[in-house]
């Protein structure tokens, strides 16, 4: 009887603005469920207008900041409406609609077209399998997927990209930086320019010329392919004796494994939590992991909403405006803790890192984080098969800092160099181990405490 009654209750809630003002129930989806808004067979322009209206009105009425970050949203409508509705094809339509939301300079508020919705549902990415960074005015390859065309063409991290389809790579990248949708920070926007180059439909081709360290070149025509992107998790005790955990996202299904890993390494003198390129995810999971490192209860981040009231379902708060982190008492991990971040550390990663940094519980080492710290409560389906995410929550750290638009500044900053990429040297991890060892050397009792668990 419980399951049918629960389903009936949720059905009654769905669509009721009084009982579910944030429409949380209406946006709950079973994993793998596609958009429930069908693509009409007739009147294409009609669904396009409906989708545009849905996006514009939702942001206007429900965005967490009633002032919309100081943006004249009516002016954006006047600029984008004719462009969106007269887009040359569907791909361009969704791109322009997303670019309009990008004017908020908010990486969390975005529009996904049907192709992106499908990729996200299937845990896939369609790309060259190539990553790069702009360093000192050149594009440096930072990664190549072992199953990608670039890898099999001989492209390796540390090489530079000279040309893309016959055009100067730097010139093309700079042009795309000026064209792509805006985001929370310039370095978050740079990822959009990268995606414009490497992402695309499977089997579409691109020709690039790469330069090795010795000045010799490789020119290759490569195809974009489908790559699986399931959540990743690594744990180990490093040769130095310090515990190490790294995971790609704050995905609830991994929470138990991560907590078990932390427990299994309690005997060591310290731990490193590597959140580099962790794009975030579940706020609840971020808070749950943070409490694992706290023996006593403390106040976490403050939550900001449009109304200044908590998020509720059926008048029951589902998220308090002041986060309460309940200490784990004897079960807490209380040894030395270092968190690693870079420009790809976003959202829940930033909540976790900034909270433990503010509480004096962790030292952050690496590069400044993404500066992408807002929250949404689920994707809203759009006519035409797309989806909209819009920021409904803002956050302030325990010490009152806003990370959104700024990024979390590490306690120990380590700047990357091309040589580090070329020789596969992880100077950030080296710095973390050195920091922990110096702490232990300065306080020998920490080493004894570590051995005794």
Tell me phi and psi for residue 146, to 5 degrees.
Answer: -65, -15
Q: Are 394 and 404 in contact (CB under 8 A)?
A: yes
Which pLDDT score is estimated for 452?
44
Total count of residues recorded for the chain: 453
Q: Are 339 and 278 in contact (CB under 8 A)?
A: no
CATH ID of 126-227, from 3.50.50.60, 3.40.47.10, 2.30.42.10, 2.60.120.1440: 2.30.42.10
What is the pLDDT tens value at each position of the chain, 453 positions in all?
333 334 334 444 455 565 556 666 656 554 345 555 544 444 557 899 999 999 999 999 999 999 999 999 999 999 999 999 999 999 999 999 999 999 999 999 999 999 999 999 999 999 999 999 999 999 999 999 999 999 999 999 999 999 999 999 999 999 999 999 999 999 999 999 999 999 999 999 999 999 999 999 999 999 999 999 899 999 999 999 999 999 999 999 999 999 999 999 999 999 999 999 999 999 999 999 999 999 999 999 999 999 999 988 766 777 899 999 999 999 999 999 999 999 999 999 999 999 999 999 999 999 999 999 999 999 999 999 999 999 999 999 999 999 999 999 999 999 999 999 999 999 999 999 999 999 999 987 766 554 544
Q: Are 314 and 20 in contact (CB under 8 A)?
A: yes
Residue 48: Cβ-neighbour burial (10 angstroms; 0-12, 13-18, 19+): buried
Kind and range of the H or E run holding 443: none
Q: Which residues contact 243 (CB under 8 A, 6 or more apart)?
A: 235, 236, 237, 261, 262, 265, 268, 270, 271, 272
- Report how far apart, in Å, the C-alpha atoms of 156 and of each of 172, 209, 395, 421, 452 are: 21, 13, 39, 9, 44
- Give which of 195, 203, 205, 194 is closest to 225, Cα–Cα: 203
Q: Are 127 and 198 in contact (CB under 8 A)?
A: yes
Tell me phi and psi for residue 29, to 5 degrees.
Answer: -130, 145
Angular region, 212: left φ>0, alpha ψ -120 to 50, beta rest? beta
- Whether 126-227 and 17-123+229-453 are alike in CATH topology: the answer is no
Domain ranges of the chain: 17-123+229-453, 126-227
Which pLDDT score is estimated for 416?
92
CATH ID of 17-123+229-453, from 3.40.50.2300, 3.40.50.300, 3.90.226.10, 3.40.640.10: 3.90.226.10
Report which DSSP code applies to 305: -
Which pLDDT score is estimated for 8?
37
Q: How far apart are CA 181 and CA 178, in angstroms?
A: 9
Kind and range of the H or E run holding 298: strand 298-304
Q: Within 359-426, where are the H helices? A: 418-422
Which pLDDT score is estimated for 11?
44
- Report how far apart, in Å, the C-alpha atoms of 383 and of each of 38, 89, 380 are: 7, 16, 10
Which pLDDT score is estimated for 28?
58
Q: How far apart are CA 342 and CA 410, in angstroms?
A: 9
Q: Name the maximum alpha-carbon separation found in the chain.
A: 75
Which pLDDT score is estimated for 258?
97
Q: Are 131 and 193 in contact (CB under 8 A)?
A: no
């Amino acid at each position: 009887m419980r399951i049918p009654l629960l389903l009936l209750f949720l059905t009654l809630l769905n669509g009721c603005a009084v009982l579910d003002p944030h429409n949380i129930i209406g946006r709950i989806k079973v994993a793998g469920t596609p958009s429930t808004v069908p693509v009409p067979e007739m009147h294409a322009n009609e669904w396009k207008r409906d989708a545009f209206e849905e996006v514009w009105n939702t942001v206007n009425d429900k965005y967490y900041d009633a002032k919309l970050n100081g943006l004249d949203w009516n002016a954006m409508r006047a600029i984008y409406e004719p462009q969106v509705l007269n887009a040359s094809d569907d791909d361009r339509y969704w791109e322009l609609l997303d670019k309009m939301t990008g004017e908020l300079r908010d990486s969390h508020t975005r529009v996904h077209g049907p192709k992106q919705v499908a990729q996200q549902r299937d845990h896939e990415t369609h790309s060259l399998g190539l990553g790069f960074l702009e360093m000192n005015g050149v594009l440096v390859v930072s990664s190549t997927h072992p199953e990608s065309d670039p890898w099999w063409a001989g492209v390796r991290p540390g090489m530079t990209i000279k040309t893309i389809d016959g055009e100067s790579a730097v010139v093309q990248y700079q042009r795309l930086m000026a064209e792509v949708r805006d985001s929370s920070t310039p370095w978050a926007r740079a990822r959009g320019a990268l995606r414009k180059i490497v992402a695309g439909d499977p089997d579409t081709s691109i020709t690039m010329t790469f330069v090795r360290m010795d000045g010799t070149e490789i020119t290759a025509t490569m195809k974009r392919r489908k790559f699986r992107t399931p959540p990743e998790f690594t744990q180990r005790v490093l040769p130095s004796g310090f515990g190490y955990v790294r995971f790609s996202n704050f995905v609830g299904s991994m929470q138990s494994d991560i907590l078990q890993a932390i427990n299994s390494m309690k005997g060591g003198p310290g731990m490193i939590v590597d959140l580099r390129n962790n794009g975030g995810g579940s706020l609840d999971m971020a808070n749950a992991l943070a409490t694992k490192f706290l023996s006593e209860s403390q106040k976490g981040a403050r939550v900001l909403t449009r109304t200044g009231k908590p998020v509720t379902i059926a008048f029951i708060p589902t998220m308090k405006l002041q986060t309460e982190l309940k200490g784990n008492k004897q079960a807490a991990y209380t040894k030395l803790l270092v968190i690693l971040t870079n420009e790809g550390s976003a959202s829940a990663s930033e909540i976790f890192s900034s909270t433990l940094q503010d509480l004096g519980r962790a030292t952050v080492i690496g590069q400044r984080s993404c500066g992408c710290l807002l929250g949404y409560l689920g994707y809203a389906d759009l006519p035409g098969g797309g989806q909209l995410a819009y920021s409904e929550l803002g956050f302030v750290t325990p010490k009152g800092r806003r990370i959104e638009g700024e990024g979390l500044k590490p306690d120990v900053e380590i700047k990357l160099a091309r040589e580090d990429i070329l020789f596969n040297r992880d100077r950030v991890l080296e710095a973390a181990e050195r920091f922990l060892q110096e702490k232990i050397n300065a306080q020998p009792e920490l080493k004894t405490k570590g051995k005794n668990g």
